[in-house]
């Protein structure tokens, strides 16, 4: 699984960070999925390795503009591209269909690609194929906000071809049958059990993607040893306490504590308030404060997402940063 961070700022963009958008690329597939689409997401895509025409699913967490105002331009541009006629399925809270259709209608846009929608106001399973199941979870925010649980299905064990050859079973179509655990009678009369040549099945990994939310524990049982949790950490505890208004967002400490309690294997923090600068400056808040607060409460692998970062989750649930424009620029 790959996670492409296209925007990591909360509310409004900064010079370094755009508002929320996250690309999810399942390994070995040509299509990828978009989670949230803040204004300017298509500009971020131009500097990424993701192909807009190959995006065929969009998941919106809630209807605040920094999570969905980029949809109209992105869908319009996609419709003008070669390959952009493939259907796009959009998942989101009730109202997302009316919003998109209204803006496109009033701006006289006729998309070549059909749009289909799944709107919801209850939690449950939204999508399932031979590899993944995606469900939504109700979160806590100023408006109806949702998180998404990507659950990978159990994978069959690896076929041991070396053992099969050592037992005198020649390669051929019979290997496919053995991979499926079939009972086979060979030409020499031997009865072979395919299960003896297939390793232990691999448990599917779980990835959590949160919308705006001041109660990360609402992910419930899905938190238990999740492979990766991607969640907003808009404030530090100190910054939240200093606000003159009530903010229904999480702090780094709040998210880190929940991740630690549930033995989450990798934690990625995003959706950082514009009050926190990317680079330290005297007298100003810096994203390092978010990171430091999280580290005090979570001892596992912790990552601070930055625009254009690409992370890959391997089969052993190790999350690796495989591309970072920000870190490359800092090294110059």
Binding site for Zn(2+): residue ranges?
62, 64, 66-67, 141, 212, 271
- Neighbouring C-beta atoms of residue 106, cutoff 10 Å: 9
Residue 131 CA to residue 128 CA, distance in Å, equals 8
Residue 306 CA to residue 233 CA, distance in Å, equals 13
Burial status of residue 174 (CB atoms within 10 A of its CB: 0-12, 13-18, 19 or more)? middle
CA 76 to chain centre: 23
Question: What dihedral do alpha carbons 308, 132, 10, 121 form, nearest 10°?
Answer: 160
- Ranges assigned E (strand) in the chain: 2-7, 21-25, 32-37, 55-59, 88-93, 115-120, 124-128, 132-138, 146-152, 183-185, 191-193, 206-209, 228-232, 267-270, 276-277, 285-286, 302-304, 310-313, 319-323
The residues annotated as belonging to the active site are 66
Q: Which of 284, 279, 287, 291 is nearest to 329 (CA)?
A: 279
Residue 119 CA to residue 117 CA, distance in Å, equals 6
3-state helix, strand, coil in the chain (%, to 5): 25, 30, 45
CB 183 within 8 A of CB 193: yes
Would you call 319 helix, strand, or coil by DSSP? strand
CB 119 within 8 A of CB 95: yes
For residue 159, the 8-state DSSP code is: B
């Amino acid at each position: 699984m790959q996670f492409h961070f296209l925007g990591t700022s909360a509310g409004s963009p900064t010079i370094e960070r755009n508002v929320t958008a996250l690309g999810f690329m399942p390994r070995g597939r040509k299509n990828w999925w978009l989670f949230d689409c803040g204004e300017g997401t298509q500009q971020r895509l131009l500097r990424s390795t993701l192909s807009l025409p190959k995006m065929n699913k969009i998941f919106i967490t809630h209807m605040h503009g920094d999570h969905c105002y980029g949809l109209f331009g992105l869908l319009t541009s996609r419709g003008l591209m070669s390959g952009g006629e493939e259907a796009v399925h959009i998942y989101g809270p009730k109202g997302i269909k009316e919003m998109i259709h209204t803006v496109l209608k009033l701006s006289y846009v006729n998309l070549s690609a059909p749009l289909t929608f799944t709107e919801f106001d209850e939690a449950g399973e939204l999508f399932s194929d031979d590899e993944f199941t995606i469900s939504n979870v109700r979160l806590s925010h100023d408006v109806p906000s949702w998180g998404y649980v990507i659950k990978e299905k159990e994978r069959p064990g690896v076929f041991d071809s070396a053992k099969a050859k050592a037992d005198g079973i020649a390669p051929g179509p019979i290997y496919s049958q053995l991979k499926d655990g079939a009972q086979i009678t060979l030409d020499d009369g031997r009865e072979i059990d395919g299960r003896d040549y297939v390793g232990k099945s691999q448990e599917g990994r779980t990835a959590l993607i949160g919308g705006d939310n001041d109660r990360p524990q609402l992910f419930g049982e899905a938190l238990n040893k999740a492979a990766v949790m991607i969640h907003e950490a808009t404030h530090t505890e100190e910054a939240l306490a200093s606000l003159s208004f009530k903010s229904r967002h999480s702090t780094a400490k709040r998210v880190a504590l929940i991740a630690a309690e549930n033995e989450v294997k990798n934690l990625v923090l995003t959706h950082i308030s514009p009050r926190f600068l990317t680079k330290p400056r005297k007298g100003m808040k810096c994203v390092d404060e978010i990171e430091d607060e999280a580290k005090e409460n979570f001892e596992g692998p912790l990552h601070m997402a930055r625009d254009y970062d690409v992370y890959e989750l391997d089969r052993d649930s190790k999350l690796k940063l495989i591309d970072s424009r920000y870190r490359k620029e800092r090294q110059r």
